[in-house]
Amino acid sequence: MRIGSYEVISLETGRFSLDGGAMFGVVPWVFWSKLIAPDERQRIALAARCWLIRGNGKNILVDDGNGTKWNDKLKDIYKLDYSSGDLLSSLKHAGLGPEDITDVILTHLHFDHAGGSTTLVNGELVPTFPKARYFVQKKHWELSEHPTEKDRGSFMRDDFVPLMNHGVLELVDGEGELFPGIELLVTNGHTQAQQLPKISDGKTTMLFCCDLLPTTAHLPWPYVMGYDVRPLVTLEEKRKILTRAYDEHWILFLEHDPIVAAITMKPTDKGFTVDQRVSL
């Protein structure tokens, strides 16, 4: 999809699965299992899509999926599946190699968003994209240094500490325009200082929803993930940002939805529902 001087491409990085109950918080199985069918271990299959933004002399990635540094036990737990390709094969399909990426915007450092940031080469962890600067919110970086018992399992230090050690990590302080036409919104419900890139040319606007709205099944207000550290804050952030998105006709990009990559919304008495599917 062309937005101003940029081309925005949806890249698949492989599929994975998470516990369905944890994905839907207080919502009972009888409701969520009708929206996304779980497997025999009550897990639901999820995408880990990224944006590739090309233009103005840049090739920008937004998030980089689970990566491939997984042992067999964790591969089994999270049902990692690269049969339809991984990040590097998707990039290759788009005509790019790792050295072509100029910037990586990490929405946050949970393993399913930042796992592709580093690669093991001859026993050493190095940035996967050797010429890129990586961007994360300063307050999120500070949390990653001291996660709580609740969210510790989502941070894998091998994904991001090597970025700091190699001097390629840039800490962003708050909301604002990062590149021309690419603005960052910050939320604090899912985790402290998650950043949501919004790309706009004044006519077309698309928001990278990351874990504010992981799938279309999370559109109803109380459908908030059990993973969130501040669920009531998520609820208010969802209400505020989705209402603005509807009022201003934004397209919503869904990183984890197993079926659909992008949508527009229409209102219902319980919030919003899908209006149109949008192909990038």
Nearer to Zn ion, 63 or 179 (CB): 63
Q: For Zn ion, how many residues bind (rule: CB under 5 A)?
A: 2
Least Å distance between CB 236 and Zn ion? 18
Q: Is 124 exposed, middle or buried (0-12, 13-18, 19+ CB in 10 A)?
A: exposed
Query: Where do we find the tokens 């504010």?
Result: 212
Cα separation, 143 vs 192, in Å, equals: 7
Nearer to Zn ion, 54 or 113 (CB): 113
Least Å distance between CB 6 and Zn ion? 25
Nearer to Zn ion, 96 or 242 (CB): 242
Task: Return the C-alpha torsion angle 9, 65, 208, 251, nearest 10.
Answer: 50
Nearer to Zn ion, 46 or 262 (CB): 46
Nearer to Zn ion, 129 or 227 (CB): 227
Cα separation, 22 vs 227, in Å, equals: 6
Cα separation, 257 vs 255, in Å, equals: 6
The only residue of 159, 211, 237, 255 in contact with Zn ion, by rule CB under 5 A: 211
Binding mask 140-179 for Zn ion (x = CB under 5 A): ----------------------------------------
**H runs (alpha helix) in 68-119:** 72-77, 87-93, 111-114
Binding segment for Zn ion (CB under 5 A), chosen from 8-16, 22-30, 104-112, 155-163, is: 104-112
Give CA angle at 216 (267, 40), nearest 5°: 145
- The b/e string for 25-52 (b: 16+ C-beta within 10 A; e otherwise) is bebeeeebbebbebeeeebbbbbbbbbb
Q: Is 136 exposed, middle or buried (0-12, 13-18, 19+ CB in 10 A)?
A: buried
Binding segment for Zn ion (CB under 5 A), chosen from 76-84, 205-213, 253-261, 268-276, is: 205-213
Least Å distance between CB 244 and Zn ion? 22
Nearer to Zn ion, 211 or 237 (CB): 211
The token pair at 96 is 């790019």
Query: Which residues make beta-bridge pairs with 170?
Result: 135
Torsion angles phi and psi, residue 79, rounded to 5: 50, 50
Binding segment for Zn ion (CB under 5 A), chosen from 155-163, 165-173, 203-211, 248-256, is: 203-211
Binding segment for Zn ion (CB under 5 A), chosen from 30-38, 196-204, 206-214, 253-261, is: 206-214
Binding segment for Zn ion (CB under 5 A), chosen from 71-79, 109-117, 241-249, 263-271, is: 109-117
Cα separation, 39 vs 33, in Å, equals: 10
The only residue of 15, 54, 110, 198 in contact with Zn ion, by rule CB under 5 A: 110
Nearer to Zn ion, 49 or 110 (CB): 110
Least Å distance between CB 59 and Zn ion? 24
Residues that bind Zn ion (CB under 5 A): 110, 211
